[in-house]
Amino acid sequence: MRTVVYPGTFNPITNGHTDLVERAASIFDQVIVAVGNSTQKSSRMSLQTRVALCQQVLGHIRNVEVSSFTGLLTDFVEQRGARLILRGLRTVADFEYEFQLVGMNRVLAPEIETLFLAPDEHFSYISSTLVREIAGYGGDVSQFVHPVVAAAMRES
Protein backbone atom coordinates (compact mmCIF):
# COMPACT_ATOMS: atom_id res chain seq x y z
CA MET A 1 0.00 0.00 0.00
CA ARG A 2 1.34 3.43 -0.97
CA THR A 3 0.91 5.96 1.82
CA VAL A 4 1.84 9.63 1.59
CA VAL A 5 2.04 12.08 4.49
CA TYR A 6 0.89 15.64 3.83
CA PRO A 7 2.22 17.76 6.73
CA GLY A 8 1.38 21.29 7.71
CA THR A 9 0.03 23.51 10.41
CA PHE A 10 -3.25 23.90 8.51
CA ASN A 11 -3.76 27.15 10.36
CA PRO A 12 -6.36 27.17 8.89
CA ILE A 13 -6.96 24.48 6.29
CA THR A 14 -7.75 26.30 3.04
CA ASN A 15 -9.45 25.33 -0.21
CA GLY A 16 -5.95 25.00 -1.69
CA HIS A 17 -5.02 22.39 0.94
CA THR A 18 -8.24 20.52 0.24
CA ASP A 19 -7.51 20.54 -3.49
CA LEU A 20 -4.09 18.98 -2.88
CA VAL A 21 -5.51 16.30 -0.59
CA GLU A 22 -8.16 15.40 -3.16
CA ARG A 23 -5.49 15.15 -5.87
CA ALA A 24 -3.26 13.01 -3.65
CA ALA A 25 -6.17 10.75 -2.68
CA SER A 26 -6.66 9.89 -6.34
CA ILE A 27 -3.00 8.88 -6.67
CA PHE A 28 -2.18 7.14 -3.36
CA ASP A 29 -3.85 4.35 -1.40
CA GLN A 30 -3.74 6.39 1.80
CA VAL A 31 -3.15 10.07 2.56
CA ILE A 32 -2.25 11.02 6.11
CA VAL A 33 -2.81 14.70 6.77
CA ALA A 34 -0.33 15.43 9.56
CA VAL A 35 -1.33 18.52 11.52
CA GLY A 36 1.54 19.93 13.52
CA ASN A 37 2.63 22.94 15.47
CA SER A 38 5.32 25.27 14.26
CA THR A 39 7.69 27.10 16.55
CA GLN A 40 7.90 29.80 13.86
CA LYS A 41 4.16 30.40 13.34
CA SER A 42 1.63 31.68 15.82
CA SER A 43 -1.68 29.90 15.91
CA ARG A 44 -5.09 31.36 16.69
CA MET A 45 -6.57 27.88 16.88
CA SER A 46 -5.39 25.01 19.05
CA LEU A 47 -3.90 21.88 17.54
CA GLN A 48 -7.02 19.94 18.52
CA THR A 49 -9.27 22.48 16.79
CA ARG A 50 -7.19 22.40 13.61
CA VAL A 51 -7.29 18.58 13.58
CA ALA A 52 -11.08 18.61 14.08
CA LEU A 53 -11.55 21.14 11.27
CA CYS A 54 -9.38 19.09 8.91
CA GLN A 55 -11.40 15.99 9.75
CA GLN A 56 -14.67 17.81 8.99
CA VAL A 57 -13.40 19.38 5.77
CA LEU A 58 -11.78 16.19 4.45
CA GLY A 59 -14.33 13.70 5.79
CA HIS A 60 -15.77 13.11 2.31
CA ILE A 61 -12.54 11.46 1.12
CA ARG A 62 -12.50 7.78 2.10
CA ASN A 63 -8.73 7.19 2.01
CA VAL A 64 -7.70 10.21 4.08
CA GLU A 65 -6.73 10.12 7.73
CA VAL A 66 -6.07 13.23 9.81
CA SER A 67 -3.58 12.99 12.66
CA SER A 68 -1.71 15.43 14.87
CA PHE A 69 2.02 15.18 15.39
CA THR A 70 4.77 16.83 17.37
CA GLY A 71 8.48 16.59 16.89
CA LEU A 72 10.32 15.80 13.69
CA LEU A 73 8.26 15.08 10.60
CA THR A 74 10.66 12.34 9.53
CA ASP A 75 10.07 10.52 12.82
CA PHE A 76 6.30 10.74 12.31
CA VAL A 77 6.56 9.47 8.72
CA GLU A 78 8.68 6.50 9.82
CA GLN A 79 6.35 5.70 12.74
CA ARG A 80 3.42 5.59 10.32
CA GLY A 81 5.26 3.22 7.98
CA ALA A 82 5.26 5.72 5.13
CA ARG A 83 8.15 6.65 2.87
CA LEU A 84 6.65 9.62 1.03
CA ILE A 85 6.03 13.24 2.04
CA LEU A 86 3.71 15.43 -0.02
CA ARG A 87 4.30 19.16 -0.18
CA GLY A 88 2.36 21.79 -2.09
CA LEU A 89 3.97 24.39 -4.31
CA ARG A 90 2.07 27.58 -5.13
CA THR A 91 4.86 29.89 -6.26
CA VAL A 92 8.55 29.93 -7.12
CA ALA A 93 9.18 31.46 -3.68
CA ASP A 94 7.67 28.32 -2.10
CA PHE A 95 10.19 26.19 -3.98
CA GLU A 96 13.25 27.72 -2.30
CA TYR A 97 11.94 27.01 1.20
CA GLU A 98 10.63 23.57 0.26
CA PHE A 99 13.94 22.64 -1.37
CA GLN A 100 15.71 23.41 1.92
CA LEU A 101 13.27 21.14 3.76
CA VAL A 102 13.91 18.32 1.28
CA GLY A 103 17.65 18.59 1.89
CA MET A 104 17.29 18.54 5.66
CA ASN A 105 14.84 15.64 5.58
CA ARG A 106 17.18 13.65 3.31
CA VAL A 107 19.97 14.02 5.85
CA LEU A 108 17.66 12.98 8.70
CA ALA A 109 15.99 10.10 6.83
CA PRO A 110 17.47 9.32 3.40
CA GLU A 111 14.88 6.60 2.74
CA ILE A 112 12.03 9.14 2.72
CA GLU A 113 11.21 10.91 -0.54
CA THR A 114 9.38 14.20 -0.98
CA LEU A 115 6.91 14.77 -3.79
CA PHE A 116 5.42 18.08 -4.88
CA LEU A 117 1.97 18.87 -6.22
CA ALA A 118 0.64 22.20 -7.37
CA PRO A 119 -2.93 23.19 -6.57
CA ASP A 120 -5.39 24.16 -9.24
CA GLU A 121 -4.37 27.61 -10.50
CA HIS A 122 -7.41 29.32 -8.99
CA PHE A 123 -6.15 28.27 -5.52
CA SER A 124 -2.51 29.27 -6.06
CA TYR A 125 -2.84 32.67 -4.37
CA ILE A 126 -4.49 31.35 -1.20
CA SER A 127 -2.29 31.06 1.88
CA SER A 128 -3.22 30.38 5.48
CA THR A 129 -1.27 33.47 6.51
CA LEU A 130 -3.33 35.75 4.27
CA VAL A 131 -6.58 34.07 5.33
CA ARG A 132 -5.68 34.66 9.00
CA GLU A 133 -4.84 38.28 8.27
CA ILE A 134 -8.12 38.91 6.45
CA ALA A 135 -10.09 37.21 9.24
CA GLY A 136 -8.15 39.21 11.84
CA TYR A 137 -9.49 42.42 10.32
CA GLY A 138 -13.02 41.04 10.24
CA GLY A 139 -12.97 40.28 6.50
CA ASP A 140 -14.97 37.57 4.80
CA VAL A 141 -12.82 34.47 4.19
CA SER A 142 -15.64 32.24 2.94
CA GLN A 143 -14.28 32.10 -0.61
CA PHE A 144 -10.92 30.76 0.63
CA VAL A 145 -11.97 28.13 3.18
CA HIS A 146 -14.70 25.57 3.84
CA PRO A 147 -17.80 27.00 5.58
CA VAL A 148 -17.01 25.21 8.87
CA VAL A 149 -13.56 26.80 8.88
CA ALA A 150 -14.98 30.25 8.13
CA ALA A 151 -17.43 29.83 11.04
CA ALA A 152 -14.65 28.68 13.40
CA MET A 153 -12.52 31.67 12.43
CA ARG A 154 -15.36 34.08 13.13
CA GLU A 155 -15.75 32.54 16.59
CA SER A 156 -12.06 32.65 17.53
CB 85 within 8 A of CB 113: yes
Active-site residue, selected from the candidate residues 17, 50, 132, 146: 17
Active-site residue, selected from the candidate residues 26, 38, 41, 46: 41
Residue 130 forms beta bridges with which residues? none
**128 catalytic per annotation:** yes
**106 catalytic per annotation:** no
Three-state SS at 152: helix
**90 catalytic per annotation:** yes
CB 47 within 8 A of CB 20: no
The pair phi, psi for residue 85, each rounded to 5°, is -115, 135
Three-state SS at 124: coil
Q: What's the DSSP call for residue 67?
A: E
Active-site residue, selected from the candidate residues 90, 106, 124, 127: 90
C-alpha–C-alpha distance, residues 144 and 80, integer Å: 31
Active-site residue, selected from the candidate residues 50, 87, 128, 132: 128
Burial readout 104-126 (b: 16 or more C-beta within 10 A, e: otherwise): ebeeebeebebeebbbeeebbeb
Catalytic center residues? 17, 41, 90, 128
